[in-house]
Structure 1
C-alpha cells in the first residue's frame, strides 16, 4: 500500500505529478478556501504526511488523529500554527520553507515601505476615480525614503536582505534583535540599538520578528506614542505582534504618519476592518513570498522534505532538530 500524502490546498498539478507514482496523493480541491477542521482531522487519521498552509492549525488533535503520521511540511517559514512540542513527542518531523523566499519577501517588504511612504495606492486610486483635475505643488505629497533612518526589528535573513536594499537608498540602518549580528554591521553599516532607541529614532520602523510569547503585542499604544510623528510603521512578519486597536488609535490621533501591513491578527480580514478605513494605511493580503517562482520553489521544498522523511532520511529544513527518522520508516 502506497504511503498517503494529504495537501491542504490545491497546488498546481505540475508540482505534485512527480510523486503520484510513488505515493497516494490527495489535495483539498480549493485554492483560496481553507480546508475545514473536520476534513483535515479525517484526512490526518490516515495520512503518512501532511503538506500544510500557515492558516491550518496543526494542533494535538490533528497530530494524534491517526497513528501513522510521520511528517508535517508547512508551506511557510513560520510554524507557529503547528504544535511542534507534541509533534516531537510523537516522532513527527516538522518542516518549513526558509531561505527560498528571503529575497522575494524582502522585495515585498521594501515595496510596502515605498508604497506607504509615497502614497502609491492612494494616488493610483485617485487617478482611477477621476479625481485628478489639475497639478498642484503638494498633490498627494508623501515622504522621502532616501537618507532616512530605517529601523528593523528582527534581523534574521529577511531583515538582513531588507537592510541590503536600504543601502541602495542611502538609508541609515538601525536594528534590534535577540542577538547582535557583527557581520551584518560590518557588511551593511547597520547599527545595533535597544528596542526603545530604535522606536524613537526610526523614520520607517519595519517589523520582521517571528511570533513568540515574547513578541506577541510587542507594539502597543505606548510604543507608537514614542515614535516620530512623521514615522511610518511596516509589518511583514505576523499580525499578532501588534495591538491593532493601538495602531488604529495612534494613526487617528496623528501620533505616527502611516502604516503598511501585509499581515493581520486574524486573517483574512473583512472590508469593515477599522484600519482599512484610513487613507494612510496600505493593506496587503499576506503576499510577502507570493511570486510564481518563489511559491513554486516552496511547494517543491515541501515535497522534497516529505519524500525524505517517508524514505527514512533527514529532510532539508527540519524545525524540530531532536527528531530522528524511524528505523523502519
Structure 2
C-alpha cells in the first residue's frame, strides 16, 4: 500500500528539538509528545490548508462547543520501526474510515482522505527519530477532531479543528489483569454512539472503572444495556473468549467498536486455521465454561495494548481464575501480529504502509 503526495501541506519546523531530554526507557504512556503536530481547520463549509507546526497549546473561546456539547472524536494508531530503521504504519486506511464514520455520527464534517493520510505520513516522517527500534517500542498516534465554533446554543458547530499529535510509547499495560463482569453499568446502548470513537464514550467509563479498581480489579467486561446478559467489550478494548479451541467475540454493532486490532486478529486466526465465531457471547455461557474447564482464555484487543490476556474475572462476587496455558492462542496471535507490524514477518494481507 502507498500514500501518494498529491496535495501541499505547510511545514514549520521547531527551532529546537526536545528529543534528547526524553528518557525512552521510562516512558509513561501518553504523557510525552513529539516536537510537531498537524492542525487543519474547517470553516465556511470546507477544510483549510493543513499545517505541520511545533507542538504547543492553543486558545479556544470559552463558549467553544466542544466544552458544552461534547463534539469530539479521536483515533488511536501506531508507527513502528524495523531493524533497518524503516518506519511503518499499520492499516491507516481503516482508522480513516472509522474516523469519518465517527464524524458522521457526531454531526461533524468528514476529513478529506489526503489531509488524514498524507498529513499523517508527513508528520511521522518528520518525527521518525522518535520511533525507536525494538518490540514494544512504538510511536502512538492520536488523530482527533473537536468543535471550535463559539456559542452555547444546543446545535452542531460550524467550525472544527482536526489535529494529529504523537507520543512515544512502550507497552500500555503491565502486570496481571483481573476484570469484573458488569451487572449494572453499560458502555453503550442501542441507538447511541457506542460504535463511534467519541470522547464521551470514554469519560462515561471512568466512574464504574474506578469502582472496579477499588475492589482490586483493573478493568470491566461490559454487558449489554438491555439485559446485561451479553458480554461486549473489556475496558476500552474488544474482547475475545476461547472455549476449548474456538475463539468467540461479539459482532460489530452500533454498541461495539469496529476495532482495527480486532479485525486483524480475526483474519490472522482464520489464516492459521483457528476457528472464530462472531456472535453474541452470554454471561451464563462463560460462567458454565469456567466451571467445567472449557474456558481457556479471555483477552482484550486494541491498538494500545495489542493483546491483553485476562487472568480471571468476577461475577456476582464469585471469582473465576483462568488456567495458565503453554499454548496460549492470545499470545500466539499477538506474536504474529506484532511481527507483521514491525516488518519482521511477511505481510501477506497488505496491511503495512512504509513511511
* TM-score clears 0.5: no
Kindly indicate which of the two structures has a greater share of residues assigned to helix: 1
Kindly indicate which of the two structures has a greater share of residues assigned to strand: 2
What TM-score, normalized by structure 2, do the two folds share?
0.24
What TM-score, normalized by structure 1, do the two folds share?
0.26
